[in-house]
Amino acid sequence: MVTVLRKLEPFTDAETGNCVEYEGEPRAENISIKFRGNGNRLVVAADAKIFRLSAVFDCSNGVITIGGNSHGTPFRGTLRVGQDSRIVIGHNVSSTDTVYMSAAEGTTIEIGEDVMFATGNQLRADDGHPIFDVRTGKRVNVSRDITVGNHVWLGYRAMVLGGVTIGDGSVIGCGSVVTRRIPNNVVAVGVPAHVVRRDIAWERPHLTLAKPYYKPDARTVKKSAYWHLTADDGADAPIARPSRTAEPIVRPLRARRRTWRSLVPRRVVRWVRAIRS
């Protein structure tokens, strides 16, 4: 049995135990809540700012929690949970467009406070379908938890995969795919994402929407509580790769001056010389 709600308001199904816990003003625009299974809970803070929400409970005992929002930018999300799984979204989490999150097989996606999503972001604790090793039959893509710290900014189309923890105050660059732990107060970019700058802090004021319209230094913004040095230096240091410039630019003189005589036995050389003479 599938129950679909098109309005965010208190709801309880005595037969299945599925419920919506919400004490704010009822909201019907851009809302879709789908229940399958039993014992699922959607918990939304009364002061949450939600522009679009699609909450999908595919199995049983799933939980989605959305915190309040005290600033103007709302949250937009498509949230999907499976058996015994959770998605927990903290206070003051915003997004420019719809964020997709998926948790299955008892995993948890936890988003801290004051997190800023851009457009096209995805967080996947699971891959949606199982992959097995042909020889052993064991799963090779086991679902794993995701933890995003406080005051983290995910850039355009950045994606976070299972098993990742992102530290407070960090920035994930456009189009990056995060597959490993990222420390606090860093910029991480790439596929897979790696740290390119440490000891950074970022703030929410937009470059074109918030005065002053030039922000050359920290005096132009109000500092948040997340101005810290990167604590676990080296936690995600880029993998050292041999540099081409580290290799000998000029080969040994003997190797460069090789002729056909050096590549054949001496007796053959003597035989050729004898014929020529």
Give the residue numbers marked as catalytic: 129
Contact criterion met (CB below 8 Å) for 166 and 123 = no
Cα–Cα distances in Å, from 263 out to 255, 256, 275?
A: 11, 13, 19
CB-based burial of residue 274 (10 Å sphere; 0-12 exposed, 13-18 middle, 19+ buried)? exposed
Q: Would you give the distance in Å from CA 109 to the centre of its chain?
A: 11
CA distances from 94 to 91, 98, 168, 199, 217 (A): 9, 10, 16, 24, 25
- DSSP annotation of 256 reads H
H-helix or E-strand spanning residue 271: helix 266-276
**What is the residue type of 64?**
I
Choose among 54, 63, 68: nearest CA to 86.
Answer: 63
247 alpha carbon, distance to own chain's centre: 36
Of 108, 119, 212, give the one whose Cα is nearest residue 158: 119
Q: Which residues contact 3 (CB under 8 A, 6 or more apart)?
A: 13, 16, 18, 34, 35
- The type of residue at 51 is F
Q: Are residues 98 and 78 in contact, defined by beta-carbon separation less than 8 angstroms?
A: yes
3-state DSSP assignment of residue 67: coil
